[in-house]
A and B are shown apart, each in its own frame.
Chain A
C-alpha cells in the first residue's frame, strides 16, 4: 500500500493521479513498474525513485511488457493461469485472458498481436492472439521453458528450456522448431546483439553466459564470472540486457548478489556492482543512464548509475520482485 509520508508527498501523488487520468497521456510518464511474484502486486515508482502506488494483480505476476501502443502492461500470472492487460495510466485491469497454462515470460511479435509465451508446467511454448484470446499454436519444448526472445523482424523465436538445457529455435513462418541448441546447465534468459549476429544465453547453474552465432547456431563463446568475495557456486546468472550500441552488457548474478558489467566486444567482465539479494530482473531506462535491478530475496530494487557504475539507491517494493518496465519513451 501507499505510505503517505508528508503533505507534500500527498499533493504530488494527487497531481500525479489526476494527470494520469487520460490514457492518451500515459506514454512517457517516467514511471517504473515492478511485478512482485509472491505478494501478487505491481509497485509503481516515479522518476525520483519513490514508490507512488502499489496495486493487487493476478496471482504470481512475473513477465511484463507494454502493449504495442504502450498504453497497457501485459502481465503473465502463473498461479491463476492468467494473462492480464493493465491500463498503464489507471492500473485498472482492462483485459483478462484465463486458462493460459502457467505463463512465465513472453515476447510480443512486432505485429503487436501475437504473444509467444513459455508455459512452464506444460513443457511447451504457445502463441497467444491478443485480439481473439485464442491460442493459435503450440510448440513442444523441454521441461520448464522460461526465457523467450525474438528477432526484430519477428521471424525467429528463441525459448530456453531450463530442465532440458536446450534453446529451441522456432521459425515463425514455418511454424516449427527448426533447431535445438545445447547450452550449459539451466538456461534462463536471452540477449540479442543489436546487429543480431549473436545470441547470448544465461546458464544459471552452469554459472556462465553462452554465446551462439546466429548464422551457424554454433556456440562461439562463453563468459565466466568471479565477483569479489563470492564462491563459484553462488554465481547463478539469470537476466541479461545489452545497450543499444551493443557495447555493454549487464548480467544479474543471482545468489552472488552482483550485477556484472561486460565489454561486449572483448566479452570480458569490466566490473561487478554489488546490489541486493538474488538479483534477477534487469531493465535499462531509455537513455541507458540507469540500470534497474530486481532483488528477489531482499524485496527491493537497486538503481545503478551506469556511467559511474555505482548503485544510487535501493528502494523497497513488494515481496519477491521479478519484472521491471520503465515507461520513459
Chain B
C-alpha cells in the first residue's frame, strides 16, 4: 500500500475567529481515496493508429478539487478537510487496507476507485462499518439493484438514468421510432436493454433490435455493413450501444436513411460536459482545467460530486459530521450544488445521487433532462432511473 500523502485543507488554519472549535484547533475530517496501481480502466490507450487518444484519465483530480474548494468553509466550522490517496498494489486486499487505515485514524468516508466486482466486494466486506463508501466510476444498474449495498453511494448516473434522459430527449423532439443496434458484448447488451426499458417507459417504439459486428467479412455483411444494418426499416433515430465506441464512431452520416445517431455516438446522455455553459458550469470547468490542464470528464465530475457531498453533509449536520454523516447524506435537508440547475440529493432507497443529465454531442450540449413537462409526484429528478417502487434490493 502506498500512501501518497495528505492533500489540501491543512494550510492557513489558525486565522479566523469563527467559533469555539477554533481554540482547540480544527478537527480533521479525512476522506480516503482508494485506487489500485495498474488499473486497466486508466491504461494508456490510443485509438486505431493513434488517430485519437482514448485514455481515460484517473478522476482523482476531481476529488482533490472538491477538497481544495472547501478550505474556507472548513475554517468557518472549525474543520480541516483532507484527502488521503491510497494506491493499492496489484495484489493488495482493498477491504483489509481500508480497515487498517480506519484503525489508524478516524476516516469520515471512503471513495472507491476500483473495478466493478471489487467495488461490490469491498462494500460487502465493510458492511458492518458506519463509514459511507462512494463509487464514482460505474454506471452498472445491478450495482444499484440486485448487487446493491446499503453503505455504498453512487454519484455517476446509472445506465437507467442515462437512457431515461435520452428517451425523454426523443419524446420532446417527437422522434418516436428507434432502431437499436447492439454488439454481442454483455455490457452493450445491458445498455441496450436499459434503453429498451426507457423506450417502453416513455412511449417510444423500438423499430428493430440488431446485433452488429465490427469488420469487413462479406459473409457477415448483414451485421457489419452500416447500410444493410440501417436499411430495411424506417425509424426516426438509430440508437447504438457500443462501449468500445469504435463501431459507433463510424455510424453518424453512414446510415441508409438520413437519421440522427444517438447513444454511444451522435447525441449522447452524459453526467457532465466541458462545454456545458449554464448553471455556473463554466466556472467549475475552468477551475478544473486551470488546475489540471485538461477538460473535466464525467468521472472527474462524479468524483468531485462525491467529495462535495461528503463535505456538504459534514457542514450541514448538527455536529459537523462527527457522528451522523451517514444520516445527513440521506437526509431530506441535503441540497447539493451540482452545476446542473437542480439541487442534488441521494435516493434513500439505493443511495444514488439524483441529478439532471445532459444530452450532448462531442462539441455541444444540446439538451437537458428531466425535460420540461415530464413530471413526478415528488421530485422530477426521479423520472430518471429506478424509482422507489421499481427498486428491489435483497
Chain A residues within CB distance 8 Å of chain B: 120-121, 140-144, 161-166, 168, 177-182, 184-186, 205-207, 231, 233, 236, 255
Which of B72, B290, B342, B343 is in CB contact (< 8 Å) with A141?
Answer: B72
- Chain A minimum-CB-distance residue to B72: A142
Which of B18, B76, B283 is in CB contact (< 8 Å) with A144?
Answer: B283
Bin chain B's interface residue count.
Answer: 20 to 34
Inter-chain contact B337/A163, CB cutoff 8 Å: yes
Within 8 A of A (CB), among B67-122: 69-73, 75-77
Known contacts: A121-B283, A180-B75, A182-B76. The answer to whether A205 contacts B343 by CB under 8 A is yes
Inter-chain contact B73/A164, CB cutoff 8 Å: yes
Inter-chain contact A182/B280, CB cutoff 8 Å: no
What are the 10 A-B residue pairs with the smallest beta carbon separation, nearest first? A180-B76, A142-B72, A143-B69, A185-B335, A164-B73, A205-B337, A233-B342, A205-B343, A186-B337, A144-B283
B78 → chain A closest CB, angstroms: 11
A165-B337, A205-B337 known, 13 other contacts, Cβ within 8 Å: A121-B283, A121-B286, A121-B287, A144-B280, A144-B283, A162-B280, A162-B337, A166-B73, A177-B16, A178-B16, A179-B16, A181-B76, A233-B342
Inter-chain contact B280/A140, CB cutoff 8 Å: no
Within 8 A of A (CB), among B341-394: 341-343, 379-381
B17: Cβ under 8 A from any A Cβ: yes
Complex A-B: 10 CB contacts under 8 Å: A143-B283, A161-B72, A162-B280, A163-B284, A163-B337, A165-B315, A166-B72, A178-B16, A185-B337, A205-B336
Give the distance in Å from the alpha carbon of A161 to the alpha carbon of B71 in the complex. Answer: 12
Give the distance in Å from the alpha carbon of A245 to the alpha carbon of B379 in the complex. Answer: 39
Known contacts: A180-B18, A231-B380. The answer to whether A163 contacts B286 by CB under 8 A is no
Give the distance in Å from the alpha carbon of A287 to the alpha carbon of B314 in the complex. Answer: 46
Inter-chain contact B73/A165, CB cutoff 8 Å: yes
> Which residues from B are CB-within-8-Å of A143?
69, 283, 287
Within 8 A of A (CB), among B276-324: 280, 283-284, 286-287, 290, 312, 315
A161 → chain B closest CB, angstroms: 7
Which of A120, A163, A166, A207 is in CB contact (< 8 Å) with B76?
Answer: A166
> Which residues from A are CB-within-8-Å of B16?
177-180
B172 → chain A closest CB, angstroms: 17
Chain B residues within CB distance 8 Å of chain A: 16-18, 69-73, 75-77, 280, 283-284, 286-287, 290, 312, 315, 335-337, 341-343, 379-381
Inter-chain contact A121/B290, CB cutoff 8 Å: yes
Which of A141, A168, A184, A231 is in CB contact (< 8 Å) with B335?
Answer: A184
Which of B73, B343, B380 is in CB contact (< 8 Å) with A142?
Answer: B73
- Chain A minimum-CB-distance residue to B341: A255
Give the distance in Å from the alpha carbon of A21 to the alpha carbon of B157 in the complex. Answer: 59
Which of B72, B283, B342, B343 is in CB contact (< 8 Å) with A164?
Answer: B72
Known contacts: A163-B283, A180-B18, A206-B335. The answer to whether A185 contacts B343 by CB under 8 A is yes
A311 → chain B closest CB, angstroms: 22
- Chain A minimum-CB-distance residue to B342: A233
A226 → chain B closest CB, angstroms: 15
> Which residues from B are CB-within-8-Å of A185?
312, 335-337, 343
Inter-chain contact B18/A163, CB cutoff 8 Å: no
Which of A161, A179, A184, A206 is in CB contact (< 8 Å) with B18?
Answer: A179
Give the distance in Å from the alpha carbon of A231 to the alpha carbon of B341 in the complex. Answer: 13
Give the distance in Å from the alpha carbon of A164 to the alpha carbon of B381 in the complex. Answer: 24
Inter-chain contact A164/B69, CB cutoff 8 Å: yes
> Which residues from B are CB-within-8-Å of A207?
335, 343
Inter-chain contact B69/A163, CB cutoff 8 Å: yes
Quick one: which of B16, B75, B76, B286 has the most chain A CB within 10 A? Answer: B76
Inter-chain contact B341/A142, CB cutoff 8 Å: no
Known contacts: A186-B337, A205-B337. The answer to whether A233 contacts B380 by CB under 8 A is yes
A104 → chain B closest CB, angstroms: 10
> Which residues from B are CB-within-8-Å of A162?
280, 283, 337
Quick one: which of B16, B71, B72, B73 has the most chain A CB within 10 A? Answer: B72
Give the distance in Å from the alpha carbon of A182 to the alpha carbon of B312 in the complex. Answer: 11
> Which residues from B are CB-within-8-Å of A205?
335-337, 343
Give the distance in Å from the alpha carbon of A252 to the alpha carbon of B287 in the complex. Answer: 28
B6 → chain A closest CB, angstroms: 20
B355 → chain A closest CB, angstroms: 12
Give the distance in Å from the alpha carbon of A242 to the alpha carbon of B71 in the complex. Answer: 33
Give the distance in Å from the alpha carbon of A161 to the alpha carbon of B72 in the complex. Answer: 10
Give the distance in Å from the alpha carbon of A206 to the alpha carbon of B335 in the complex. Answer: 6
> Which residues from B are CB-within-8-Å of A161?
72
Known contacts: A141-B72, A142-B73, A180-B75. The answer to whether A120 contacts B283 by CB under 8 A is yes
A199 → chain B closest CB, angstroms: 16
B304 → chain A closest CB, angstroms: 11
- Chain A minimum-CB-distance residue to B375: A231
A184 → chain B closest CB, angstroms: 7
> Which residues from A are CB-within-8-Å of B379?
233
Inter-chain contact B287/A233, CB cutoff 8 Å: no
> Which residues from A are CB-within-8-Å of B70?
164
> Which residues from B are CB-within-8-Å of A184?
335
> Which residues from B are CB-within-8-Å of A236?
341
A297 → chain B closest CB, angstroms: 9
Give the distance in Å from the alpha carbon of A182 to the alpha carbon of B315 in the complex. Answer: 9
Inter-chain contact B73/A182, CB cutoff 8 Å: yes
> Which residues from A are CB-within-8-Å of B341?
233, 236, 255
Give the distance in Å from the alpha carbon of A164 to the alpha carbon of B308 in the complex. Answer: 10
> Which residues from B are CB-within-8-Å of A186?
280, 337
- Chain A minimum-CB-distance residue to B69: A143
- Chain B minimum-CB-distance residue to A179: B18
Inter-chain contact A142/B69, CB cutoff 8 Å: yes
- Chain B minimum-CB-distance residue to A161: B72
Give the distance in Å from the alpha carbon of A186 to the alpha carbon of B315 in the complex. Answer: 14
A105 → chain B closest CB, angstroms: 14
Quick one: which of A141, A163, A236 has the most chain B CB within 10 A? Answer: A163
> Which residues from A are CB-within-8-Å of B286?
121
A316 → chain B closest CB, angstroms: 21
Quick one: which of A142, A143, A166, A181 has the most chain B CB within 10 A? Answer: A143
Give the distance in Å from the alpha carbon of A166 to the alpha carbon of B284 in the complex. Answer: 17
> Which residues from B are CB-within-8-Å of A182?
73, 76-77, 315
Give the distance in Å from the alpha carbon of A72 to the alpha carbon of B380 in the complex. Answer: 46
A183 → chain B closest CB, angstroms: 10
B53 → chain A closest CB, angstroms: 27
- Chain B minimum-CB-distance residue to A164: B73
Give the distance in Å from the alpha carbon of A231 to the alpha carbon of B71 in the complex. Answer: 33
Which of A121, A142, A163, A178 is in CB contact (< 8 Å) with B17?
Answer: A178
